């Protein structure tokens, strides 16, 4: 493995360690899972045959700028998009639902389905 490929792997590994977990998307479609499965493992020693870096420096820089949230700071989203006027707590309720769903018992799942059917609050 060439020296540039080795540094690319270390930069990607550093980005993966700092990348936040997306609570809405499942793990198989996350950026961490994609990079871990599509990039070969970095080896400790350098091999004789130089191989090109699997991902370009500009792509690594783009991942790093996404990690630093620079695009969100440069192009901020309006608050109306995050908190719609019709239901300002929609996204908060959605995240709460994703957190609670795996820990519900069978009876709680039936109760939740029934209360949704009747539109109880």
Q: What is the pLDDT of residue 51?
A: 56
The predicted model gives 7-25 an average pLDDT of: 85
Question: Do residues 60 and 12 make contact, with C-beta atoms less than 8 angstroms apart?
Answer: yes
Q: What is the pLDDT of residue 46?
A: 45
Q: Where are the domains of the chain?
A: 3-74, 79-118
* pTM exceeds 0.75: no
Q: How confident is the model at residue 68 (pLDDT cuts 50, 70, 90)?
A: very high
* Residue 101: pLDDT over 60: yes
Q: What is the pLDDT of residue 96?
A: 92
């Amino acid at each position: 493995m060439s020296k540039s490929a080795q540094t690319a792997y270390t930069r990607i590994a550093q980005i993966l360690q700092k990348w936040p977990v997306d609570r809405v998307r499942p793990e198989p479609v996350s950026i961490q899972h994609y990079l871990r499965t599509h990039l070969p493992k970095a080896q400790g020693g350098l091999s004789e045959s130089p191989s090109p870096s699997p991902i370009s420096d500009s792509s690594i820089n783009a991942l790093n700028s996404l990690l630093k949230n620079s695009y969100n700071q440069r192009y901020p989203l309006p608050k109306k998009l995050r908190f719609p006027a019709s239901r300002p707590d929609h996204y908060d309720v959605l995240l709460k639902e994703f957190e609670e769903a795996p820990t519900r018992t069978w009876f709680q799942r039936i109760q939740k389905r029934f209360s949704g059917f009747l539109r109880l609050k």
